[in-house]
Amino acid sequence: MTRPTSRDVAHAAGVSQATVSLVLGDKWRGRVSERTAAQVRESAAHLGYRPNLAARNLRLGSTRTALLVVPALTNEFFARVYSGAARIAAENGFGVVLYPSPDGTGPARDPFASASAALDGVIASSMAAHALEAIGGNDLPLVMLDSDPTAGRAAAHVNLAIADGMRQVTEHLQALGHRRFLHLASAVDTWTFDVRAKALSRLLGPGTELRTTRSDLSVDAARAAMEAALTTPGQRPTAIVCDDDILAAGACKAARRLGLRVPDDLSVTGFDDLALATAVEPELTTIGLPAERVGEHGMSALLAVLDGAPWNAPDLPVQLVVRGSTAPPPTPMDADGR
């Protein structure tokens, strides 16, 4: 079947091709009547006409393409970020190219002969910031996700209320009676994980104990790190605060291997509220992060920057989701006294 052209639309609507171009390019106001504009749009929809974006963009000197830089699509959170960004992009006639760093958080090879020629702007997660070095195009507008708002050359930032999420976790556990905490921290050196560590340390006051152990972002690495931490001499922590749900799943596996019950002997919390949080048993108490809204705001921020408008949206709120992995700590008679 032959693809309809603007000439076909013009013939069906009884207007010139120039009028079709004005209407479908949204430049008709003051030049074409509303009745004629509606007639052109109706004819285009009836014929299934789609404008040649490549030709139009070449004329306008714009690709209408944004690059989304993420650590890896194997992480559900970033897949949802992409969904949000792609939806807003589509509503505004943009496309989104995904650029996952092959090594998760390290540098990658430049996929473009010239980034500035292929793209209008970049949206990047702070967890994949190193990959930006390979892309080039330093003159491109940049929106950073979940990153330090005081650092870098980004034209706009989209952040989550991460510190408030840690506050919600801490207050929940302290209200249950926990006083001995272990922070299972991500070994990835990024702003977002640094915020979590600093918030947890600040929120735990006198009469509490906090230890920290670090792990790569995998279930097996977290299990091994937790097994080592839980068999260290001294009093065992009663609450494990994890930087994300993947680490929390590893913590739960370590507890089971050591004969500990979650949450009777050990409470475990996560961060992200991935599908994994309800796949483990017991289900994880965690902080729900609105990943799709992060993507939506990231694309909206880039569109604002391209239009020369300011972007001043507040941090996106996060929400504690209480499930079965947290409970009051064991009484001294129940604990093993280590």
How many residues in total does the chain contain?
338
User: Which residue from 161, 151, 160, 208 is spatially nearest to 183, judged by alpha carbons?
Assistant: 208
Query: 3-class SS at 66?
Result: strand
Average pLDDT over residues 256-272: 96
What local confidence, expressed as pLDDT, does residue 54 receive? 44
CA-CA distance, 201 to 327, in Å (whole number)? 21
**Could you tell me if 28 and 104 lie in one domain?**
no
The whole model's pTM is what?
0.76
Q: Do 107 and 224 belong together in one domain?
A: no
Same-domain pairing of 100 and 200: no
* pLDDT higher than 90, residue 260: yes
Q: Give the alpha-carbon dihedral of 59, 134, 302, 289, to 10 degrees.
A: 150
pLDDT at 226: 97
Other beta carbons within 10 Å of 150 = 7
pLDDT of residue 337: 43
Same domain, 270 and 126: no
Q: Is residue 328 part of a domain?
A: no
Are 284 and 299 part of one and the same domain? no
Residue 116: pLDDT over 80: no
Asked if residue 134 is part of any domain, the answer here is yes
Q: Does any domain span residue 217?
A: yes
Q: Is 98 helix (H, G, I), strand (E, B) or coil?
A: strand
Over residues 46-67, the pLDDT tens digits come to: 888 766 544 444 444 467 888 8
- Stretch 108-131: mean pLDDT: 63
Could you tell me if 69 and 131 are in contact, meaning their C-beta atoms sit under 8 angstroms apart?
yes
Containing structural domain, residue 147: 61-158+291-315
Q: Is residue 169 part of a domain?
A: yes
- CATH number of the domain at 74, please: 3.40.50.2300
Residues 33 and 112 in one domain: no
User: Do the domain assignments include residue 331?
Assistant: no
Whether residue 329 is contained in a domain is answered as no
Closest listed residue to residue 199, CA positions, set 265, 273, 263, 287 = 287
| Same domain, yes or no: 101 and 203 | no
Residue 335 lies in a domain: no
Burial of 332 (0-12, 13-18, 19+ CB in 10 A): exposed
Average the pLDDT over 181-194 and give the result: 94
CATH at residue 39: 1.10.260.40
Do 284 and 191 belong together in one domain? yes
pLDDT at 115: 45
Q: Output 42-49 pairs: Cβ under 8 A, ≥24 positions apart.
A: 42/13, 43/9, 43/12, 43/13, 44/9, 44/20, 46/12, 47/4, 47/8, 47/9, 47/12, 48/4, 49/4, 49/5, 49/6, 49/8, 49/9
Asked whether residue 285 falls in the same domain as residue 295, the answer is no
| 188 and 118 in a common domain | no
Domain total of the chain: 3
- Is 323 within the bounds of a domain? no
User: Average pLDDT, stretch 223-237?
Assistant: 94
User: What's the per-residue H, E or C state across 194-232?
Assistant: HHHHHHHHHHCCCCCEEEEEEECCCHHHHHHHHHHHHCC
Between residues 114 and 10, the one the model is more confident about:
10
| Same-domain check for residues 200 and 275 | yes
Alpha helices by DSSP H, 104-213: 115-118, 132-135, 162-176, 191-203
Both 166 and 193 in a single domain?
A: yes
pLDDT in tens, 65-102: 888 988 866 678 989 999 999 999 998 888 898 877 65
Q: What is the pLDDT of residue 208?
A: 95
The predicted structure's pLDDT at residue 151: 78
